[in-house]
Structure 1
């Protein structure tokens, strides 16, 4: 219970009544969108603006190259025309160039497909990969990870398994992964890199391990690159020259990549992602897919059956926007890293504030080095579960999401830096100070 002798920013009774109104008994299991609606209601009732760290939404201006290209496309009349399912040619060719320029991998334009955000890409992939092998009906998550992907599997009624990777980094990863793959029921492995929510980044030897095991056990790797190039310890901004974005695609042909436009291009609102399927997988023939979907070719099933049934094509004008940004990046006219480094600066300064007032960084190490500063970080406080900590912080006008919802074994919160501008750091510090005082 909240100690009412100490000052809070939000009346604890308002927090309590809002949770009751939303039928929320444990914030530790609340989804991201549920927390969003809770905070929205509290802000509306109190007029107090929160330090909002619950939702991973970009706050930087969209890349003007994309905006101008989309405006030009709209002026040319694309709004009145359906886009082709597989995507407009310029989008596909520039996406193929982009992965070559910044990942040093070859994916034919045919395998570069626009989706209505990366979430639609994962949804279609989950439906497809789970039907390839009758005996392989389970998807394995290397967690912590993006909670909504598991909701997708619940909706699709697809089985999944998961493990928290924190204690299985480096050489330990092989045995842990193989303990699942050896069962013979895993059709796909899913992870994000950089990782949401912990911001750990797999090393090359770990990606090689994942790729080699995918080859050995004939398993598909779904690599979520929502935060492409945002491990700011390594600058990948020069096209066609190392260092490149780390990827499992250098070690296996059994891959599908989800590349988001939301963070690296600050183009979240147009819901346009890129699904890149390896040349081998795109053209692979599976008799089970023919029985289930009427087509045996994996790429044709993804595009002509699954994506078609979900949306009949992705945003026409936004494809021209992303194509233009891909082209500018590949031509060296747009620095994809420079534009988003602000997030790393915010993370460093915000972590310092939380630690100053008694919090700990839950996922603090990336094997043998301190965790990088990026879009997310994780926090905990002694004596609190994630749900309890979040409820208490709501009384101080601070929001986040509980780590339990991400597949983490640890108690704490995921904090996103994007909506806390540096001008609000003094407000954050004052609220953290009040929080700390209430416990002593």
Structure 2
């Protein structure tokens, strides 16, 4: 049967794979489901996709970390269980990193290694949802990382969401408070820079979030997976402004997730950092005592939840990240210089998509252009997100639908990490063919 438009990938292959997946609405497909679909198409086709569906670092891992981890392995740490709370060098350097690049005081005791930031959020959700029997719901300031909602579904914890696009600046307070007034919000989650839109909250917005957290006794889970990667400002000089913006300046009800995956290109070792405010870490909750047999928040996180989930995080990788933190704080290693490539790719890729009829959906950060970073968002006239993704598959291009991120706008999230500049000519040809087919 003749296909209605010329395609880069054999249409029969695309259709066969989609059929095998049950012809699922791609607007609802998870990141890993899209990864699986594209993998299967590539297995049967000679065409290599322009892969924009998953945030996989494509830059070499930090040599500082690699060398430190190799040395730790040579010293025999692979045969030893790490302490649940983390090794001392990691905790000390994580605390120092928080001061150097966020200008906040988080004692080493409250800095905990986790098996990626996802384990940290999973443990936090369990704890935060059990602090108060009247507060059983997590609020997402969306768009956001879709897997965190899957975690809540797995845990059976309720959540609410709203798309922040129309509620930036002064509008944010009333919108947030409309949820907090219900009395059931245990925690608030957001990422900054934002995955997928790459908007970055301004200081007045973070102050609003922090003050409301204090007023309504709500815990803020601040996801800094893309630490310092708003390239409009350079935070790479330790102990000197500007710093990574954080809600920790305005509330003690916070837990911060720091990923090693993107900023340090250390994704494979699954080692994240959880920084909990000293006040929250030491707070006793009777409801936690009833639920987990331990009432102290920090002890529940470490001694109950992380213990039961994995009994510690990679021993050797802790030495790697400790070394990266130390070198960054000493000023001998500018980790952000290595990842600026993502900003360059984003700027050039956005230009190509716009040239061939696409629009950048989240294109403003209140009153200034959106930053160029790890992600951007695209739409095409007359197409729903799932429909657009499906058609792009025929042209060897992938992404994920924005509906999965909590966005109210139809379109796709595009990740720049797996597309090197050497493939931009190929991307342009495919986008041109796509436009001609519409």
Instruction: Tell whether the structures are fold-level matches, with TM greater than 0.5.
Output: yes
Alignment-derived partner of residue 336 in structure 2: 337
- How much has 1:48 moved relative to structure 2? 1.0
1:15: how far off?
1.4
Q: Which aligned runs of 4 or more in structure 1 are off by greater than 3 angstroms?
A: none
- 1:162-177 aligned at under 5 Å gives the runs 162-177=161-176
Q: What is the total number of aligned residue pairs between the two structures?
A: 438
In structure 2, C-alpha distance between the alignment counterparts of 1:25 and 1:124, rounded to whole Å: 31
Deviation for aligned residue 1:24: 3.6
Q: Secondary structure at the match of 1:29?
A: coil
Other-structure match for 1:357: 356
**Inter-partner Cα distance in structure 2 for 1:114 and 1:257:** 12
User: CA separation in 1, counterparts of 2:43 and 2:259?
Assistant: 31
Aligned to 2:226: 227
- Counterpart in the other structure of 1:280: 279
How far did 1:337 drift?
A: 1.4
* Aligned twin of 2:179: 180
Q: How does 1:120-135 map to 2 (within 5 A)?
A: 120-135=119-134
Q: Residue 27 of structure 2 aligns to a residue in which SS?
A: helix
1:289 maps onto 2:293 in alignment? no
SS of the residue corresponding to residue 222 of structure 1 reads strand
How large is the RMSD of aligned CA atoms in angstroms?
A: 0.9
- Say yes or no: does 1:218 pair with 2:224: no
Distance apart, 1:47 and its partner CA: 1.9
The residue aligned with 1:28 is 27
**By how many angstroms is 1:14 displaced?**
1.8
The residue number in structure 2 matching 1:101 is 100
Structure 2 counterpart of 1:429: 428
Cα distance in 2 between the residues matched to 1:230 and 1:93: 23
What is the CA–CA distance in structure 1 between the aligned matches of 2:294 and 2:237, rounded to whole Å? 40
Query: Distance between the aligned counterparts of 2:284 and 2:75, measured in 1?
Result: 39
Alignment of 1:11-410 (within 5 A): 11-410=10-409
- Partners of 2:4 and 2:17 in 1: how far apart? 21
Kindly state the Cα deviation for residue 5 of structure 1 after the two structures are TM-superposed: 4.9
Measure, in 2, the Cα distance between the counterparts of 1:318 and 1:3. Answer: 53
Query: TM-score, normalised on structure 1?
Result: 0.99
- Provide the rounded CA distance (Å) in 2 between the counterparts of 1:9 and 1:411: 24
Distance in 1 (CA, whole Å) between partners of 2:188 and 2:2 is: 45
Deviations 1:234-257 (A, max 9, x none): 000000000000000000000000
Distance in 1 (alpha carbons) for counterparts of 2:41 and 2:163? 33
Task: Supply the distance in 2 between the matched residues of 1:182 and 1:259 (Cα, whole angstroms).
Answer: 30
Deviation per CA, 1:219-271: give whole Å up to 9, x if none: 00000000000000000000000000000000000000000000110000000
Contact preservation (8 Å) 1:237, 1:337? yes
CA distance in 1 between counterparts of 2:314 and 2:64 reads 17
Distance 1:391 1:320 in 2: 43
Q: Which moved more, 1:14-23 or 1:342-351?
A: 14-23
For structure 2, the 5+ residue unaligned runs are none
CA displacement 1:273-315 (0-9 Å, x = unmatched): 0000000000001000001111110000000000000000000
When normalised by structure 2's length, the TM-score is: 0.99
Give the Cα–Cα distance (whole angstroms) in 2 for the partners of residues 22 and 183 of structure 1: 40
CA contact under 8 A between 1:24 and 1:30: conserved in structure 2? no
Superposition deviation, residue 7 in structure 1 = 1.9
User: What are structure 1's unaligned runs of at least 5 residues?
Assistant: none
Contact 1:3/1:438, CA 8 A, preserved across alignment: no
